[in-house]
Structures are given as structure tokens and as C-alpha cells.
Amino acid sequence: MLTLVDPIEAKLERLEAKPPLVLDDVDFDVRDRAAVRARLAQPLAYSQRVEAMVTGLSIERLLPRATGADGYVNRFLTVWKPDEQGHARALERLLVELDIEPFPLPEDEPVPLHNRLAGSVGAVSTRVHETVELIYHAIGAMNERLAFSAYERMSEVLVELGELGLVDTLMKPLRRDESAHLGYYRTAARDLRDRLDPWQRFVARNVIAWTYAPVGAGAPQDRPAFGATIQALGDADPLVDRVQLLAESLLSVDERPLRPFVKASFDRCVAATP
């Protein structure tokens, strides 16, 4: 007898079963601090800031109908928040070892205005809430794809520099966590896309295509830092392609490609870099 498997449940079980990053297990004994600082100071600092800030977005306010105690989103956040906070602490420790000023872990950050507005409308309209939920999961998947790919590239640089202990004890756990987060976001977004009405998919697709910014670079003043990060990591085309292709798989209709909004957003950040 065939047993139907809930794909979102399967991704959540994988997420809940993985080990967390343990700070005491990370090898912070960097062999050549000057070389690592010269190659990766900006990407590491940017990543630490993003990991520190993302848990202050108050998803509970954004998705009031989807964050109940028994819901998928709540189960995801229960693992995701400690993961992101653990990532921020580990990267903070690494930055200190490299004599780079880390971004302070935020406390009681105000909920972003757009999250408050979307959550308020979604609280009284099921259709709007579902649309916002699709936007949240699709953007989440794109962010995790970007983070995974950035950590992958940083790992390659660290291998070149001979920092194998840091790769094995920090970068591999970071990529493992981001991969598990991506699996949930992508699966949940596909499930929503297949259930929603055409107009809801149309709204979600256009909101993302016209407002997308790389995670942590939504404000104009933050674009130069992301642009510098991209320049430090090298060729941006693979990153752009990975994020754009994921967006296409989640949001395009009848195989009609979306406009190249990811590249446009990356280009704005690079152009803003001194």
C-alpha cells in the first residue's frame, strides 16, 4: 500500500533532526589572519550582520494566521531562529579573532512597517494572507539560496588559504543549516503556489519582481556593503543565476521568464559601492 508523504512535513522533520551549530566546536585558530581578512573581511562582516538582524523581522506579525503553535511556520521558526542567532554568534567570534568590528546582536528591534501593514491586512483577509505567505516563502528561499552560495564561495577561498579547520567546523555547518532552511522554504512556496488563485500568484510574482533586494540590502544605505561583498567574492554571475533560476521555478507562469530582476538589484548594489 502506498503512503502519501507530506513534502513540507518531510522537510520540517529533516530540519528538526539536524544538529545545531555548536560554538565550542568551531575551530577559530586562524592560521593567517591577515590573508583571511584581506580576502573575506567584507563577506564575513556582511553575513554576520544579516544573520544577526533577520530574526528581528517578527514573522509572527507578518503572518498572524500561519504562526499558531501547531502550524508549519511556527515549527520552522522554532529551529530557524536559534540557527540564525547561532550563526551570528559564531561569525561574531570569528570577526573578533580577525580584528574586525562585528555588528551587535539586536534587542527588541521595531517590527518593520511593511511587515506590520501586511500582517494587519492579512489578519482580516484570508486571500491576502495567503498571498503574503507565498511572498514570504519565495523570498525566504531566494535568501537561503544566496546565503548558501555565499558560504560555499567563502569555503573555496578558505580552502585556498589553507584554513581547513574553519571550513570543516564553521562553513560546513553553516551550509548544512542554510540548505535545510532552503528545503523548507522552497517546498512550502511550491505548495502555496499550486493552491492559490491566478490573481494571488500574479500579485506575489510582481511584488517580488519589483521590490526584490538581496537580504540585508533593502535600504539604500546598505547597498554599498552588499556590493562590496559581491566584489570580494568574485564573479557575481553564478550567484545571480542561482537566485534568478529559483525565482523562475517558484513564480514564473507558462514557462514565461521573469524579467532579470535579481541582476538589476545586484547591479544597483555594485553601482552604489565606492
Question: Taking a C-beta distance cutoff of 8 angstroms, is the pair 66, 135 a contact?
Answer: no
Mean pLDDT score across all residues of the chain: 88
pLDDT surpasses 80 at 160? yes
pLDDT at 254: 74
The 10s digit of each residue's pLDDT in 213-247 is: 999 998 899 999 999 999 999 888 999 999 999 99
The CATH H-level superfamily of 7-13+27-271 is Ribonucleotide Reductase, subunit A (1.10.620.20)
Tell me the mean pLDDT in the region 148-152: 96
The mean per-residue pLDDT over the stretch 68-81 comes to 81
Which of residues 115 and 23 earns the better pLDDT score?
23
Phi, psi of 253 (to 5 degrees): -125, 135
**Residue at 39: amino acid letter:** R
Dist CA 89 CA 85 (whole Å): 6
Q: What is the pLDDT of residue 129?
A: 85
Domain segments of the chain as ranges: 7-13+27-271
- Does the pLDDT at position 57 exceed 70? no
Q: How far apart are CA 184 and CA 73, in angstroms?
A: 10
With a cut of 70, say whether residue 65 has pLDDT above it.
no
- What is the average pLDDT across 138-148? 96
C-alpha cell at 64: 498572524
* CA terminus-to-terminus distance, the chain: 63
Q: How confident is the model at residue 60 (pLDDT cuts 50, 70, 90)?
A: low
CA-to-CA dists, residue 228 to 32, 79, 175, angstroms: 22, 30, 22
